[in-house]
Each structure stands twice: as C-alpha cells, then as structure tokens.
Amino acid sequence: MSFQIPRGTQDILPGEIEKWQLIEEKAKEICRRYNYHEIRTPIFEHTELFQRGVGDSTDIVQKEMYTFKDRGDRSLTLRPEGTASVVRSFVQNKMFGNPQQPTKLYYIGPMFRYERPQKGRMRQFVQFGIEALGSNDPAIDAEVMALAMELYKELGLKHLKLIINSLGDTDSRIAHREALVEHFRPVVEELCEDCQSRIETNPLRILDCKKDRNHPKMESAPSILDYLNDSSREYFEQVKAFLEELNVPYVVDPTLVRGLDYYNHTAFEIMSEAPGFGAITTLSGGGRYNGLVEEIGGPETPGIGFAMSLERFLVALEAEQIELPLEQGIDCYVVSLGEGPKKYSMSILKQLRKAGLTADRDYQDKKMKAQFKAADRLQAKFVLVLGEDELAKEVINVKDMATGEQVEVPLSEAKDYIMKRLEGGTAS
Ligand code: HAM
C-alpha cells in the first residue's frame, strides 16, 4: 500500500521551496521597514472563535472549516484565516494596554479551508497577513494597501490592480442593507438557495454570488457608495487621498464585497491582470474591521489588515513569467582521495562552514571522476582537491569552476583564499 497526499494539499520540495523562502524573507523585510512585528498563534483554536469572528453566515464557517472534537470533547477548528486568531491574542494578551499603538502585527503560516481545489485554491495554503489594531487614521488603511502592493512589486509583478470600496459604518450599512432587501425581495424566488437565506442573514453577500451573477436585478442593485453617511464618505475620501499621496493606483469598485463578515469602511482586493492567470484572479484581500475586537471580548478598538496566499503569489509570478533571483549552487565541494584525505576533509568542511560558506563532500565512496561530477551537479563555485600527496605537503588544490583556474594553496590558508575569491578580490 502506498500513501498519497490529501486532496488540496501539497509537498513543497527542495528546488521549489527556495521560492517560498524568498517571498517569506521579502515579506518579513518589508514588514520590518513598515514596523510590523511577527506574531505566531496556534494552528487550531476553539471553533467558536471563528463562528463569532469570521461570522456564522459566511461560506467559510458554514461549509469550509476543518472542525473536530479533541479527546476532551472540545470543538476545535484548524484556522481558516488569521485575523480572528490575531484579534483573540490581542485581547487575551491585553496588547491594547501597550503604550505604543497601533499594534502592528504580521503572520505567515498555513490556513485550512475545505474548498474545491484548483490552481491557486488549496485546502491547506499559506497566508502572509498583517493587522494594525488601534488606529482610526485613514492613513493606515493606505499604508496597509501600499505594503501589500510593494511586496508584489518588489518581486517583479507588474499586472496588478488594486480595487477598493467602502462598506461604511454601521449606520450606512443598515441603510444599504434595507435597500438591498427591498431590491431583491420581489425576486427572491429566482435567486439561488444560498441567496434566499442571505437575504435574511447578510444581503450584501448576494452581490458576491457566483450563481446569481447574471440575474437582471444584479446590475441595478443599490450601491453602498450611495448610502454612505457623511463621516463614512469623508473617511473613504481620505483613504483615497492617502493612496494618491503614496502613488498607489487604485480603482473604486462599489460591488466589491468581501467574503468575511467583519468588514466595515475600507475593503480591498488586489487582482492579477496577467494574461493566463487562470480563473481565480484575487491575489490578496483585506479591509477594516472596527467591531471585531469588541466581538471577541476586548475593548472598542479599530483594526485593519489584509492577507495574501503564497500559492497565488507563485501562480502570478508564473503567469508573468518572472524568475525569482534565487541563489544557486554551493560555494565549495571537497574532493578527497584516500583514507587520510577523506578524514581530513571533515576538518576542512568544518572550517569552511564556520566561515559561513556552503560546503559539502562525497559520502558514497565515489571515485574522483564521480566526485567531480557531483561537484558539477551541485554547481560548486570551487572544488578543493585533496589527495595523499597534497596532505603530506599540507597543501590543497583549489579549482575555480567558473574560470577553470587551479591553484595550490597551503591547507591552513584554503578558507581565507576562497573567502577572498568569493568577495571578488584577488588572492595573494
Ligand atoms: P480572504 O479573502 O478570505 O481574507 O483571504 C485572503 C487571501 O488568502 C486571498 O486573497 C487568497 O490570496 C488567499 N486564499 C484564500 N483562500 C485560499 C485558498 N483556498 N487557497 C489559496 N489561497 C487562498 C482573509 O483571510 C482575511 N483574514 C484577510 C484580512 C486580514 N482581512 C483583514 N485582515
């Protein structure tokens, strides 16, 4: 019997993992520049957190969660997203009491949703996300969007579109909600089963329905932007002004509705416009969630954030045919012949590695020619050759694989010689 990986998951193997690491490093580096700090929360939480946080009426909670009972009969759920967990931790650890606010956090880790897998849509996927808690300044909405765009751009993506909308404050949302119910009520029987219940639970989500997308009432549906009260409209205007200040292009789309319940005011998505991207074009999603901290049991605290999956990032890179600048090859490969040299090669490796170089040797008792072949395969920059004669003379042959040049250097100087050559200097 042989085992297969569960549907919607993947192994990320050497050769591929370097791309993930590069994106992760870049994300961390950008977070450092924007002063966001990493937070790590558990992979599973009490199910109720997501029911309350993400929202009972969302597809995520209704259809997509990996929920199980533990041996103590508690209902636990593999996290389907990061925001609810971060807010739970913010409240539990009383981060709202820290003198420095807003609290600016980021996370990178696996999330789990029972969705129908396809390219860019997995059941286990890795999200990079940020959350800024404790500020009602529209400038931070712009900062969050700018950070997301910057990460994509710095890794080479060009065909991006930032779509923004405002869902307004509670009053605006209630007014819009009533208008939506009035608009769709007369045709409710013509809508899909989900939308028939959405009209009671969350009519905004009808606008987001894939099945009813072409219903004639869809296009004429009341736009949230017509229902924003003065303060919500002003807030949105300021967010846009800050984006302009940052030179981040955007498109306002009043039909943008996010799939999670906690949003108000700013909502946004970043789409790929690369030809050949495939069916799912959303790379990132986020927005403001001013009521969520209270919902999770904390004091009234505004919040905003976004998340992107690395899976979709990679699909976008592929669609734009961008090769990431990955480091290739190792620095040194030690070829040794005979028992003494083989033993001594361990000391050489130790020195090279201690100096920070990537160094390796043969562990399969291969002949010299095969050892050179291995060095080639590993794309070694330098091959160090040690035979009995060299060892007796306390020297080693260093071959620069790029130029073919071969030099004999004293064993005690081999490391420094290679370090100098790698720095681009000339060895004496
Ligand atoms: P979301 O729109 O559900 O929002 O997901 C954000 C991003 O996660 C998506 O744009 C996509 O890149 C990725 N994603 C979602 N589902 C999958 C999947 N099945 N396979 C691959 N990638 C996927 C959230 O999760 C919110 N927590 C974002 C947020 C943070 N809002 C405020 N703060």
pLDDT in tens, 215-233: 999 989 999 999 999 999 9
Q: What is the mean pLDDT of residues 17-29?
A: 98
Q: With cut-offs at 50, 70 and 90, classify the pLDDT of residue 72.
A: very high
Q: What is the mean pLDDT of residues 17-31?
A: 98
Give the pLDDT confidence score for residue 231 in this predicted structure.
96
> Residue with the nearest Cα to atom 7 of ligand 1?
308
**Percent of the chain predicted with pLDDT > 70:** 99
Do 34 and 138 belong to one domain? yes
Of the CA atoms within 13 Å of residue 215, those in its CB half-sphere come to 21
Distance 205 CA to ligand 1 centre (A): 16
Per the structure, the count of domains in the chain is 2
Q: Judge whether 129 lies within some domain.
A: yes
Judged against a pLDDT cut of 70, whether residue 209 lies above it is answered with yes
- Chain-centroid distance, C-alpha 421: 37
Please give the mean pLDDT across all residues of the chain.
95
Give the pLDDT confidence score for residue 428 in this predicted structure.
44
pTM of the model: 0.93
Q: What is the mean pLDDT of residues 70-79?
A: 98
Give the pLDDT confidence score for residue 201 in this predicted structure.
86
> Residue with the nearest Cα to atom 1 of ligand 1?
285
Give the pLDDT confidence score for residue 396 in this predicted structure.
97
Q: Judge whether 116 lies within some domain.
A: yes
Distance 256 CA to ligand 1 centre (A): 15
Give the pLDDT confidence score for residue 280 in this predicted structure.
75
- Cβ neighbors of 322 (< 8 A, separation 6 or more) are 155, 156, 157
Name the E strands within 234-281.
Answer: 251-252, 264-272
Q: Judge whether 27 lies within some domain.
A: yes
Q: Judge whether 222 lies within some domain.
A: no
- What b/e string do you get for 407-426 counting C-beta neighbours within 10 Å, with b at 16 or more? eebebeebbebbbebeeeee
**Percent of the chain predicted with pLDDT > 90:** 87
Distance 271 CA to ligand 1 centre (A): 12
Do 126 and 244 belong to one domain? yes
Do 73 and 130 belong to one domain? yes
CA 224, 225, 226, 230 torsion: positive or negative? positive
Q: Judge whether 221 lies within some domain.
A: no
* Residue 282 Cα: closest atom of ligand 1: 10
Do 397 and 296 belong to one domain? no
Q: What is the mean pLDDT of residues 104-123?
A: 97
Q: What is the mean pLDDT of residues 375-386?
A: 97
Q: Judge whether 314 lies within some domain.
A: yes
| CA nearest to 202, candidates 184, 218, 220, 228 | 184
Give the three-class secondary structure for 163: strand
Task: For residue 119, give its domain range.
Answer: 17-169+229-319
Quick check: CB of 122 below 6 Å from ligand 1?
Answer: yes
Q: Give the residue, 417 or 57, on which the prediction is more confident.
A: 417
Do 303 and 351 belong to one domain? no
- Cβ neighbors of 33 (< 8 A, separation 6 or more) are none
Do 314 and 338 belong to one domain? no
Q: With cut-offs at 50, 70 and 90, classify the pLDDT of residue 213.
A: confident
Q: Judge whether 181 lies within some domain.
A: no
d(CA 158, CA 322): 10
Q: Which residue has the tokens 């390219």?
A: 119
> Residue with the nearest Cα to atom 14 of ligand 1?
309
Q: How far is the CA of 227 from the CAs of 212, 249, 253, in angstroms? A: 23, 25, 15
Quick check: CB of 306 below 6 Å from ligand 1?
Answer: yes
